[in-house]
Chain A
Amino acid sequence: MEAWDLLRNVWFLLVGVLLAGYSVLDGFDLGVGVLFPFLAKNEDEKRTLIRTIGPVWDGNEVWLLTGGGALFAAFPQAYATVFSGFYLALMVVLFSLILRAVSLEFRAHDPARKGLWEGAFVAGSFLPALLFGVALGNVIVGVPLDAGMEYAGNFFTLLRPLPLVFGLLGLSAFLLHGSTWTALKTDGPLQERARKAAKTLAAVTGCAYFLSFLAVWVYLPGALRKVPAWIFAALVWLSLGLALAALKKKKDGRAFLFSSTLFLSLWGTVGAIHYPNLVRAADPALSLTVTNASSSALTLKVMLIIALVGMPLVAWYTIYAYRVFKGKVGLDDGGY
């Protein structure tokens, strides 16, 4: 039984790592999608902005699919509860991701409907960027569950203060990340606009984080007693401060690095206040935890072997691909 518990905890961590990897990597292209109409003022700038993410957004999104697959495989009960329980909200996320996935390729090749696909790109980025935080806020603050692990609330149950504040925090962090990425990958007026936006967004993210802290204080007072949460919270503020300082000195690479560590620290905070829960229930006795929601020890072991063999390879060739496309984006470069 002890080995099983160890595996469950490892998988709690690994699902977190996959979701954090998703936030850091797909986070900037979601952010670019929402900022698209505000940063790019003409067709050349639009194409430049799209090209900063063109070769990589798809690989980035695989982090979400793999994270979802890992949740399904390691904690099928949590996957089943959340995906059936948050049905309509997740359908909005799903349709956004579907339209977003085709939007860039279609925009490049379908000039007659360029506006439609740009709209799909922007809306398809905005809704997930907002709703991921709302969904996460719900499983953290707790939702009504019945004894059969089934969700017992409705759509409006999901729209409570803490989840909404988390949604705002996630959105602003995605936007900050998208703007530091744009500053790093472009130059000229586009870069200047991105830097300016990043400074504002760092401040907005700070405010959203403070509001989230207040919401946690009110709705989850127990979380304040968890020491690791305070450490990660300090790292959040440190990341924000260092990102802001880097932006002031026009060190774009460093700013992007710290908007990335911001996400890692945010996930650290989430893990610290949420563990060992996967989905907190309104009645704590009914919560889905790493213990009652997990797969068998054998499945977790097989999955661990798969992850240990596969993920280092993924990291290696992902870094390779980013190096292939490193540097500022040009318009005479092949592709869209």
Chain B
Amino acid sequence: MSAVFLARLQFGLTAGFHFLFPPTTLGLTLVILILESLYLWRKNEAAKEVSSYLVKILGVVFVMGVATGISLEFAFGNNWSAYSRTVGDIFGAPLAAEGVFAFFLESVFLGILVFGRRRVSPKMYWLSAFLVFFASHLSGVWIIIANSWMQTPAGFRMEAGRAVLTDFFQAALNPSTVVRFVHTVLGGWITGSLAAAGIAAWLILKNRSRAKAVLLLKTALTVFAVASLLQLGSGHAHSIQVTKTQPEKMAAFEALWETRTAAPFTVFGIPDEKNEKTRLAVRVPGMLSFLVGFNTETRVQGLNDFPKDERPPVLLPFAGYHLMILLGLLFILMAVWGGVLLARKRAPDSRLFLKLLLFAIPLPYLANELGWIAAEVGRQPWAVYRVLRTADAVSKVVPAGNVLFSLILFTVIYSLIAAAGVSIILRLVRKGPDDAAATDSQGGH
């Protein structure tokens, strides 16, 4: 196994594992902020207790996010030092800015959320909840800026083989930053709110803390429904952006081998990269053209427009993109069903729907990972699109054996953290909001 392959595998595993936590944080902090607002302005004591319950879970999710995030900042230097040398002039700044603007804020005020309920005023506690919500999203802004610059680099010129910044705002607000940020944040809201709604559903099914569980269900389900519907628009906008700025990536998403007008949308198929055709394809004629250009005759570029050594792999991006869309459509159905139940004030009574919420908790995580895999594999063979090849981005002085060694250690340690983290979160969930509130006022456990 080559050092490039091992370094990619390691980055994929470590970033993929890390990417379970920040989306949860995005959604959970929003639900917590709404609950704290209900407590502060409507004097809803139940909202406060439910919020304390979620804060305990957030605390565990957050430290797992921190722990697994550290390795990514190391990784660019450890395994990808040629990348760091070539594009460090642009890529380092957003990582540093994330620390300065977002990560300090998030960590410091999360300390107050977890430890400070009785040490600060209710208004200050609400402000802490707001700042944790705000900072976790601001953190996302900088990370998406860095990642989007790899997809659609802008605001730089090449000098002696190195990228040099020419315009900070062009680099930061490159053609994909805004739409990718919205898409990722909505994915996070769907993830965190469905986790919270699923927990509420479980409490109701077990007939525990019913009033609080119903409050949590209504709050979280509302966020979930709104975010799932908005995601349809953001996903569409993102697809149009990819078609315009990374056409070969869209061609891979859709397994479109030939450039054509009236391009079909492939509902199902098995891409065969060797023979450049899709087996067992089920297609809707003209649909892809319509989706990206609002006209069934729009010309869409196929893979044959690009040199073979600049084409992304097709199978993974195709499968990831389609399965993500399938899940997104499922979330919309759930959102509509949940919305109808909420409007009729029947949401806590439909045991079938409550069970669906509970068992659907893992699905947004799957959708996030699939979308991310499609986006990053679809960027290949480039580390930075049309600027730096992935094969040229790895550290020159790190032997494959070292990467393999650290990969094995990552696997062992992350498995341990995952197993312990899941059992701890389940334990906290099982305690229920009454117990969480009790330990909150007595202190400690």
Contact = CB atoms under 8 A, between A and B. Distances in A.
Interface of B: 59-60, 62-64, 66-68, 70-71, 73-74, 76-79, 81-82, 84-85, 88-93, 95-101, 103-105, 107-112, 114-120, 164-166, 168, 395-398, 402, 405-406, 409, 413, 417, 420-421, 423-424, 427-428, 440, 442-445
A286 to B, nearest CB: 14
Q: Which of A76, A104, A298, A325 has the most CB of B within 10 A?
A: A76
Contacts of B168: 298, 302
Interface string A297-335: 011001100110011011001100100110000111111
A321 B101 contact: no
Q: Which of A73, A79, A98 has the most CB of B within 10 A?
A: A98
A167 B103 CA distance: 28
A91 B443 contact: no
A157 interface: no
A119 interface: no
Contacts of A118: none
Q: What DSSP secondary structure best describes chain A's contact surface?
A: helix
Contacts of A85: 397
Contacts of A79: 76-77, 84, 88, 92
A87 interface: yes
B70 A59 contact: no
Contacts of B402: 87-88
Contacts of B97: 69, 303, 306, 310
A321 B111 contact: yes
28 contacts: A55-B111, A62-B103, A76-B85, A77-B88, A79-B88, A79-B92, A80-B77, A80-B88, A83-B81, A84-B78, A84-B395, A84-B398, A98-B71, A105-B59, A109-B428, A113-B420, A149-B85, A295-B92, A296-B165, A299-B93, A302-B93, A303-B96, A313-B105, A321-B108, A324-B112, A325-B115, A333-B115, A333-B118
Given A81-B81, A84-B397, A310-B100, A58 B107 contact: yes
B445 A65 contact: no
A282 interface: no
Contacts of B417: 98-99, 102
Contacts of A298: 164-166, 168
A110 B422 CA distance: 11
A47 B64 CA distance: 21
Contacts of B395: 80, 84, 87
A66 B81 contact: no
Given A72-B77, A77-B85, A317-B105, A98 B67 contact: yes
B77 A91 contact: no
Interface string A69-112: 11011101101111111011011001101110110111011100
Interface in A4-35: none
Nearest to A117: B420
Given A150-B397, A318-B104, A333 B444 contact: yes
Interface string A32-76: 000000000000000100000011101101100110111011101
A213 interface: no
Nearest to B159: A296
A116 to B, nearest CB: 8
B115 A76 contact: no
A47 B179 CA distance: 46
A237 interface: no
Contacts of B92: 69-70, 72-74, 76, 79, 295, 299
A19 B317 CA distance: 41
A324 B119 contact: yes
A276 B91 CA distance: 24
A148 interface: yes
Nearest to A100: B67
Given A55-B112, A80-B77, A317-B108, A299 B444 contact: no
Q: Which of A80, A113, A318 has the most CB of B within 10 A?
A: A80
B60 A105 contact: yes
B103 A321 contact: no
Contacts of B79: 84
Interface of A: 47, 54-56, 58-59, 61-62, 65-66, 68-70, 72-74, 76-77, 79-85, 87-88, 90-91, 94-95, 97-99, 101-102, 104-106, 108-110, 113, 148-152, 295-296, 298-299, 302-303, 306-307, 310-311, 313-314, 317-318, 321, 324-325, 330-336
A79 B75 CA distance: 11
Q: Which of B79, B114, B115, B396 has the most CB of A within 10 A?
A: B115
Given A83-B74, A310-B101, A324-B112, A58 B66 contact: yes
A325 B116 contact: yes
Contact of B107 (A62, A90, A303): A62
Contacts of B409: 91, 95
B100 A72 contact: no
B99 A299 contact: no
B64 A80 contact: no
Given A62-B104, A98-B71, A314-B104, 13 more contacts: A62-B107, A70-B96, A72-B91, A79-B88, A83-B77, A84-B78, A150-B396, A299-B89, A299-B93, A318-B108, A321-B109, A324-B116, A324-B119
Please give me the 10 A-B residue pairs with the lowest Cβ-Cβ distance, nearest first. Answer: A83-B77, A76-B88, A73-B92, A66-B99, A69-B96, A310-B100, A72-B92, A101-B67, A84-B81, A55-B111
Nearest to B77: A83
A333 B428 CA distance: 19
A108 B111 contact: no
A66 B100 contact: yes
Nearest to B114: A335
B112 A311 contact: no
B103 A66 contact: yes
A334 B118 contact: yes
B443 A82 contact: no
B23 to A, nearest CB: 19
A91 B104 contact: no
A87 B398 contact: yes
Contacts of A321: 108-109, 111-112
A101 B88 contact: no
Nearest to A335: B115
Contact of A151 (B108, B118, B397): B397
Contacts of A303: 93, 96-97
Contacts of B84: 72, 76, 79-80, 83
B444 A302 contact: no
A80 B427 CA distance: 42
B336 to A, nearest CB: 37
